[in-house]
Amino acid sequence: MVGFSLFFVSLHRFLTSDMKYYEVNMTIEPCSQDAQDLLAALTAEAGMETFEETETGLKGYAQQQLFDEDAFQQTLAAFPMEGVTISYNVSEAEDKDWNEQWELEGFEPIEVRSKTEDGRGERLLVIHDGRHLPSDISHQSSALMIEIDAHMAFGTGTHETTRMICRQLLNMPLEGKRVLDCGCGTGILGICALKLGADSCVGYDIDEWSTDNTRHNAVINRVDDRLESLCGDATLLCSYAPEFDVVLANINRNILLQDMEHFVRVMAPGATLILSGFYQADCQMLADKAITFGLHPVTTTTDGDWACCLFR
């Protein structure tokens, strides 16, 4: 499985739960990475929660009671890539301990590099699972090291969107800042901010497994005294004042549009909002929404088809 296959919800959460899921095998002709990424983003709105790449397309997984096959078929019929056709079949998902498989395999160290402000040097962030760290990396005293025990939650640094936000954080003065991590997954973004000097972080996620994993990773990285992890959606923010200096959200476009009002309400004067989890084509839509809340676009970075936007 590739990075984006963890993009929406952890495989562990449903394949080891009591809920029943459908496995939807989608064949894309001709098959390409762009078509796979776009299909994953679009079919999420029909109830798909996570995806696995195949040689001919994608496998998607959806709760049986939430799968909207009519909406799914409409999405396929209106697929926006010219010359691409998609067929599919539906079956019940196999019960399998995906979490055990993930823990056995882990992931190779990921390096995120960013130029220093004067342009003469480079800052290095290394994300690793504690088992595959080569000695030539572990002995780099200048590197910022983050250990992530992922447990199948999204956010190991393998995905372009995670790396882009980490790169933005490497470029920011974070000393003393209060950070909010929306849809925290493994907690990697909040942990990164804390290791770069942020004073505290509040993270939340709709998946209880993710919030537990965030706490676990905070302990591993010795920042648990400064990181609070909550289970719920953006309505949790109603109990917070406008107190956050940096707000991070690596979530799909529709959720960002829906929740942006909540983000802005808890931002302190002069605060920064960093958004990712969407395609370059979505940037203008998100910028237009942000402007209605008094935010100003500062910069946009891209990695492949994915984008990351910074607002103040």
1 burial (CB, 10 Å; 0-12 / 13-18 / 19+) is middle
- Averaged pLDDT score across all residues of the chain: 83
User: Would you say 147 and 215 are in contact if contact means Cβ atoms under 8 Å apart?
Assistant: no
**pLDDT tens-digit readout, 170-198:** 999 999 999 999 999 889 999 999 999 99
Query: Residue 284: which pLDDT band, with cuts at 50, 70 and 90?
Result: very high
For the ranges 7-11, 167-171, 295-299, the lowest mean pLDDT is seen at 7-11
Among 188, 202, 163, CA closest to 302 = 163
pLDDT of amino acid 150: 62
Indicate whether 69 pLDDT > 60.
yes
Q: How does DSSP classify residue 130?
A: S
Query: Residue 235: which pLDDT band, with cuts at 50, 70 and 90?
Result: very high
Non-local (6+) Cβ contacts of 231 within 8 A are 204, 205, 206, 207, 208, 211
pLDDT of amino acid 174: 95
For the ranges 25-29, 50-54, 220-224, the lowest mean pLDDT is seen at 50-54
Query: Residue 41: which pLDDT band, with cuts at 50, 70 and 90?
Result: confident
How many whole angstroms separate alpha carbon 145 and alpha carbon 143? 6
For the ranges 13-22, 31-40, 176-185, 270-279, the lowest mean pLDDT is seen at 13-22
**pLDDT tens-digit readout, 250-283:** 988 888 999 999 999 999 999 999 999 988 989 9
Query: What phi, psi does 305 have (nearest 5°)?
Result: -85, -10
**pLDDT tens-digit readout, 95-149:** 655 455 555 566 677 778 787 665 666 677 777 776 666 666 655 555 688 888 8
Q: Which residue has the higher pLDDT, 246 or 134?
A: 246
pLDDT > 90: percent of the chain: 53
User: Would you say 92 and 21 are in contact if contact means Cβ atoms under 8 Å apart?
Assistant: yes
CA 164 to mean position of chain CA atoms: 11
pLDDT of amino acid 20: 76
Indicate whether 26 pLDDT > 80.
yes
Q: Is 148 helix (H, G, I), strand (E, B) or coil?
A: coil
Indicate whether 17 pLDDT > 80.
no
pLDDT of amino acid 134: 63
Query: Residue 1: which pLDDT band, with cuts at 50, 70 and 90?
Result: very low
Indicate whether 12 pLDDT > 50.
no
pLDDT of amino acid 10: 39
pLDDT of amino acid 189: 95
pTM for the full predicted model: 0.71
How many whole angstroms separate alpha carbon 101 and alpha carbon 105? 6
pLDDT of amino acid 144: 83
Indicate whether 44 pLDDT > 90.
no
226 burial (CB, 10 Å; 0-12 / 13-18 / 19+) is middle
- Beta strands (DSSP E) in the chain are 21-29, 48-53, 57-63, 85-92, 110-115, 122-128, 144-147, 178-182, 200-205, 227-231, 244-250, 267-279, 297-303, 306-311
Average pLDDT over residues 145-170: 77
pLDDT of amino acid 126: 77
For the ranges 78-92, 125-139, 172-186, 217-231, the lowest mean pLDDT is seen at 125-139
